[in-house]
Structure 1
Amino acid sequence: MSAREEILGLVRAALEGVDRTAPRAEAPRIAEVSDLVGHFAERVEDYRAVVERCAPEDLAATVAAALARHLPAGGRVVVPPGLSFEVSGAVEDSGLTALELDEVDAVVTEAAVGIAETGTIVLDHGPGQGRRALTLVPDRHVCVVRADQVVTDVPDALARLDPARPLTWISGPSATSDIELDRVEGVHGPRTLHVVVVAAG
């Protein structure tokens, strides 16, 4: 008997007596969660990202405090064109090269959608979000997500997004594991992700 036949035999034995025609119970949708934005924040934190919530009038101050917390003295910050609030001392991206972006300490962007079920942030690189390189090369990313941008799950997010646009899906800081399963952060994108969730105005 081959290993394949042996495994299939074990599977068949395990399924003996199971009614495979019975409909499977659907998993409860996260829409039943009373605080969708709070659930989103918890899921984002699960990915080792920093999450802060603020009122709309406190956004600029909250972002400034986040940058002060993460940046080295004299750190350089870049922002995309069309950002809806001012970041003091930041330089607007004017097509900086990859080498120039590598010398930037942090980027501040806005988002298109936040997904509560997965804790994922989606950028479609419209105004205030910048081009893909801008969000992948600097070591720190401060991303603003507004409460009305938070949706339940991936299908709800897709309904809001234009598939013709470039999309970047972010679930926590960039991380990978080597062959010995040692976690390494910052290889494929920012080492630090700081998400500012803005309450409904």
Structure 2
Amino acid sequence: MTSRSSSRDRILAKVRSALADAPDAPDAPEVTRDYLASHTPDDPAALLDLLHENLTDYRAVVHRSTEHHLPSLIGRLLADRGARTVVVPPGLPSSWLASTRAEQCFDAGTLAPAELDSIDAVVTGCALAVAETGTIVLDAGPGQGRRALTLVPDLHICVVNSSDQVVASVPQALPRLDATRPLTWISGPSATSDIELDRVEGVHGPRRLEVVLVID
């Protein structure tokens, strides 16, 4: 069996061979980069409305809340969805779950997939939200936890701070993210379709995504 290192060397050798007659970099045509970084007006209210609309279009359920009412809203959402257990990522503000009666399972990186599968819900923060694409970005930072936490439980409640976590576009998001971190880009609940386009949710992640936009 060919080792991984030798396979890599063979592939790179083929790439070098294919590029042998290519013009040197100074002679290569210039790449046009005059595209717009955003197609959205610089208006925080309009940006939030666009994020709300696109999240909903992807079948996420969107709520708006003040910081003061956030714990009671999260508690109500967990109760309304019948969540008896909720996994808590490291660094999640304890106040967010102050009003829930669900059993809290604190993750220190030791919960096995089978254990996570037995937990009803997860509550997290996020790194960023992209309005034009209706996308939530997680980077395993404080209050988000490792990737498995948001892929295995059936309900994901994600909190977005509208004052500093919402950007208009992907080009605006990328400079604010650390590419060395494990980035997870979420556009709606997990779903897939078969050849007859029958939609099935919850195959590759949570069946239900609830997003709470925290406003001032």
TM-score (norm 1): 0.82
Aligned to 1:57: 68
Aligned to 1:41: 52
Aligned to 1:83: 92
| Residue pair 2:156, 2:209 contacting (<8 A) in 1 also | yes
Q: CA deviation at 1:156?
A: 0.9
Return the alpha-carbon distance in structure 2 between the equivalents of residues 25 and 155 of structure 1.
10
Residues 137-148 of structure 1 mapped to structure 2, 5 A cutoff: 137-147=152-162, 148=164
Q: Please, which runs of 5 or more residues in structure 1 have no aligned partner?
A: 1-23
Rate the CA distance shift 1:125–1:27 in 2: closer, same or farther, 3 A. closer
| Residue pair 2:38, 2:168 contacting (<8 A) in 1 also | no
Q: CA deviation at 1:71?
A: 2.0
Return the alpha-carbon distance in structure 2 between the equivalents of residues 195 and 85 of structure 1.
18
Return the alpha-carbon distance in structure 2 between the equivalents of residues 77 and 28 of structure 1.
37
Aligned-CA RMSD value:
1.9
Return the alpha-carbon distance in structure 1 between the equivalents of residues 90 and 121 of structure 2.
15
Aligned to 2:107: 93
Aligned to 1:13: none
Q: CA deviation at 1:35?
A: 1.6
Aligned to 2:197: 181
Aligned to 1:194: 210
Q: Is 1:116 paired with 2:128? A: no
- Deviates most, 180-189 or 77-86: 77-86
Aligned to 1:170: 186
| Residue pair 1:50, 1:194 contacting (<8 A) in 2 also | yes
Rate the CA distance shift 1:195–1:25 in 2: closer, same or farther, 3 A. closer
Return the alpha-carbon distance in structure 2 between the equivalents of residues 32 and 183 of structure 1.
36
Q: CA deviation at 1:31?
A: 2.8
**Partner AA of 2:39 in structure 1:** R
1:161 corresponds to which of 177, 187, 199:
177
Task: Report how many aligned residue pairs link the two structures.
Answer: 175
2:41 partner SS:
helix
Q: Please, which runs of 5 or more residues in structure 2 have no aligned partner?
A: 1-33
Rate the CA distance shift 1:55–1:78 in 2: closer, same or farther, 3 A. same
2:68 partner SS:
helix
Aligned to 1:69: 80
2:52 partner SS:
helix
% same residue = 57
Q: After the TM superposition, which segments of 4 or more aligned residues of structure 1 sit over 6 Å from their partners?
A: 24-28
Q: CA deviation at 1:66?
A: 1.1
1:40-96 deviations in whole A, cap 9, x for unaligned? 111101011100000111111111111111125xx2111101002331432211220
TM-score (norm 2): 0.76
Q: Is 1:31 paired with 2:45? A: no
